[in-house]
């Protein structure tokens, strides 16, 4: 069996275009290289004629000819070509894969430097039909919350530098308008249970803790994971879902980080059957657990949770009860979000299918139990191998991951199964050739999936996602993140 340890990385865009051509017959529709070049030329002209930096006050007028703005000719040419690309990306009848998603982190420079146009043009050149725009990250939002749930992520440049009150910049709104101009759908990508440092320090009682008194930052860098049990956490996330569903800006919500923190041991998932490895030891979680499980409100159970040893020998039973309760708390949280979005926008989940490859995985991402709550599933198929190879993290391969998901979907009624859109990944920029493990390049991953789909292996698969824009277009990511 082949162990894949390195590869010559082609230019990102060419690699992706080649990959998309290899998707199951009939092939995905993507614009011709000539049309892509025309769009680029028209965009460069439009940007050259647009006074920069673009501000929240002038962004609405980008497509309006004015004395100090772009010419009517530049506007009309660019707009016409963008619509042609949108038409080229429209799935043809009988296509096996009809949706292609791309994960995007927005930056302030996407507005002030008009990088948003280049981002979405590059996405269209890949045949992307929907974008997952980061809307909640590190306790900050990329839209203005009517309820002031969290602060905006991006203060505006000039006014902020001058020490004045910064005008509001809602990058999610900007992306929504520009993506929809191109016929794309827009999902708000949420770092669901990571409320950020400022919030965590202000509300330490809402943070998850393990049985050793640690918060999530002990095992995950820059992590301030909050408890899915806490009523204030649920209130904020329910209200966020309602706001987004009511905003008219998005077609769906992508729940990411909908799990507990990971715990590693010797470079792998810690398999220890120790209840203290799990993240249910905040005061509120402990109080709620015993209130909801009165039969286990005993000295023996309390001793087990605090020491890892049950004095009555019921360790296996106690651990099962403990894990099931913690996982159900996430399910109840998702259920509340579902109630606020159902029938209005789609609800999607990003999750690790390799959770089911492990024993006593502290993430407790029991995704198969939650499938019924979602419209779309975006399993993060970040395996290092396509073939069967016993690597240091176990026998990981995309086929095993997707078969695990299909097993879970088969348990649901046919009309109640969410759509399967696995997310693929290449190496992050800067991954050295000497690294012990490498992800496959996109074209190899898709070629592999193509063969398995022809075998009928994935009956629920209807699309693909790509993580992430910044890894696929690293040079543009540097420019846009550096633009004030």
Residue 15: what pLDDT? 42
The 8-class DSSP code of residue 457 comes to: -
Mean pLDDT estimate for the chain: 88
Cα dist from 229 to 80, 202, 261, 262, 281, whole Å: 50, 18, 15, 18, 11
Question: CA-to-CA distance for 131 and 470, rounded, in angstroms?
Answer: 13
* Per-residue CA distances from 373 to 255, 331, 370, 449 (Å): 12, 9, 6, 26
Q: Could you tell me the residue ranges of all domains in the chain? A: 25-482
pLDDT tens digits for range 397-420: 888 899 999 999 999 998 899 999
Give residue 324's Cα distance to chain centre.
25
pLDDT for res 6: 34
Query: Phi-psi bin for 42: left (phi > 0), alpha (psi -120 to 50), beta?
Result: alpha
56 band by pLDDT with thresholds 50, 70 and 90? confident
Q: Would you place residue 26 in the very low, low, confident or very high pLDDT band (cuts 50, 70, 90)?
A: very low
Q: How far apart, in whole angstroms, are the C-alpha atoms of residue 242 and residue 352?
A: 26
* Half-sphere CA count of 317, side-chain side, radius 13 A: 9
* pLDDT > 70 fraction of the chain, expressed in percent and rounded: 89
Q: Contacts from 406-412 at CB under 8 Å and sequence distance 24+?
A: 406/457, 406/458, 406/459, 406/460, 407/368, 408/367, 408/368, 408/371, 409/371, 409/377, 409/460, 411/368, 412/371, 412/372
Q: What is the pLDDT of residues 79-92, one digit of tens each?
A: 999 999 999 888 87
Tens of pLDDT along 345-366? 999 999 999 999 999 999 999 9
- At 358 the three-state DSSP class reads coil
Average pLDDT over residues 418-434: 91
Decide: 176 and 186 in contact? Cβ < 8 Å. Answer: yes
Q: Which residues contact 37 (CB under 8 A, 6 or more apart)?
A: none
**Residue of higher predicted confidence among 54 and 226:** 226
Q: Give CA–CA dist 426/381, Å, rounded.
A: 11
| Greater model confidence, 286 or 388 | 286
Mean per-residue pLDDT, 226-230:
98
The residue among 452 and 93 whose pLDDT is bigger is: 452
Confidence of residue 29 (pLDDT cuts 50, 70, 90): low
> Would you state the pLDDT for residue 217?
96
- Residues facing residue 136 across a β-bridge: 141, 190
Comparison of pLDDT for 119 and 64, the residue scoring more: 119
Q: Name the least confident of 85-89, 115-119, 316-320.
A: 85-89
Whether the per-residue pLDDT at 1 is higher than 70: the answer is no
Ranked by mean pLDDT, the top range of 18-22, 54-58, 342-346 is 342-346
* Of 362, 377, 359, residue with least CA distance to 330: 362
Tell me what pLDDT residue 167 has: 60
**What's phi and psi for 201, nearest 5 deg?**
-70, -30
Q: Which has the higher per-residue pLDDT, 244 or 388?
A: 244
Q: What is the pLDDT of residues 160-194, one digit of tens each?
A: 444 545 567 899 999 999 999 999 999 999 999 99
- Going by pLDDT thresholds of 50, 70 and 90, the confidence category of residue 441 is confident
pLDDT exceeds cutoff 50 at 320: yes
**What average pLDDT does range 3-7 have in this prediction?**
32
At residue 4, the pLDDT reads 28
Average pLDDT over residues 257-285: 95
Please check whether residue 259 is in contact with residue 363, taking contact to mean a CB–CB distance below 8 angstroms.
yes
pLDDT digits (tens, 9 = 90+) for 143-158: 999 999 999 986 544 4
Mean pLDDT for the stretch of residues 191-218: 98
Q: What's this model's pTM, rounded to 2 decimal places?
A: 0.90
Mean per-residue pLDDT, 113-132: 95
The CATH label, of 3.30.450.20, 3.20.20.80, 1.10.10.10, 3.40.50.80, for the domain at 25-482 is 3.20.20.80
Answer yes or no: is pLDDT of 305 > 50: yes
């Amino acid at each position: 069996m082949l162990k894949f340890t390195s590869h010559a990385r082609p230019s990102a865009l060419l690699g992706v275009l080649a990959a998309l051509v290899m998707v199951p017959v009939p092939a995905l529709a993507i614009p011709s290289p000539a049309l892509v070049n025309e769009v680029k030329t028209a965009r460069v002209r439009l940007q050259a004629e647009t006074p920069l930096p673009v501000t929240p006050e002038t962004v609405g007028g980008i497509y309006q000819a004015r004395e100090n703005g772009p010419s009517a000719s530049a506007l009309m040419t660019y707009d016409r070509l963008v619509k042609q690309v949108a038409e080229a990306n429209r799935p043809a009848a009988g296509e096996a894969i009809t949706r292609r998603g791309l994960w995007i982190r927005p930056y302030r420079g996407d507005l002030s430097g008009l990088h948003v146009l280049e981002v979405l043009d590059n996405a269209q050149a890949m045949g992307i039909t929907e974008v997952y725009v980061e809307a909640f990250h590190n306790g900050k939002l990329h839209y203005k919350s009517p309820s002031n749930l969290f602060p905006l992520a991006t203060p505006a440049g000039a006014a902020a530098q001058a020490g004045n009150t910064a005008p509001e910049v809602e990058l999610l709104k900007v992306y929504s308008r520009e993506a929809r101009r191109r016929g794309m759908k827009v999902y708000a990508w949420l770092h669901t249970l990571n409320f950020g440092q400022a919030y965590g320090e202000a509300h330490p009682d809402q943070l998850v803790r393990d049985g050793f008194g640690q918060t999530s930052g002990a095992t995950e860098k820059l992590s301030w994971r909050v408890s899915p049990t806490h009523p204030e956490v649920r209130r904020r996330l329910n209200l966020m879902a309602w706001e987004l569903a009511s905003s008219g800006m998005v077609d769906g919500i992508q729940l990411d980080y909908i799990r507990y923190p990971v715990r590693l041991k010797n470079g792998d998932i810690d398999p220890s059957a120790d209840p203290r490895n799990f993240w249910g030891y905040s005061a509120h979680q402990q109080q709620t657990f015993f209130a909801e499980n009165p039969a286990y409100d005993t000295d023996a159970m309390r001793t087990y949770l605090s020491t890892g040893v049950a004095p009555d020998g019921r360790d296996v039973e106690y651990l099962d009860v403990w894990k099931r309760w913690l996982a159900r708390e996430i399910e109840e949280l998702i259920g509340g979000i579902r109630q606020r979005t159902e029938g209005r926008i789609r609800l999607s989940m990003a999750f690790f299918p390799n959770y089911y490859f492990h024993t006593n995985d502290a993430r407790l991402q029991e995704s198969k139990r939650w499938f019924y709550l979602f419209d779309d599933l975006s399993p993060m198929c970040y395996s290092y191998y396509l073939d069967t190879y016993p690597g240091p993290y176990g026998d990981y391969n995309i086929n095993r991951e997707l078969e695990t998901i299909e097993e879970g979907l088969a348990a649901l009624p046919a009309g109640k199964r969410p759509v399967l859109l696995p997310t693929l990944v290449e190496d992050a920029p800067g991954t050295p050739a000497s690294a012990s493990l490498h992800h496959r390049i996109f074209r190899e991953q898709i070629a592999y999936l193509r063969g398995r789909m022809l075998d009928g292996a994935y009956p629920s698969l209807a699309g693909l996602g790509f993580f992430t824009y910044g890894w696929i277009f690293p040079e543009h990511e540097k420019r846009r993140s550096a633009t004030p």
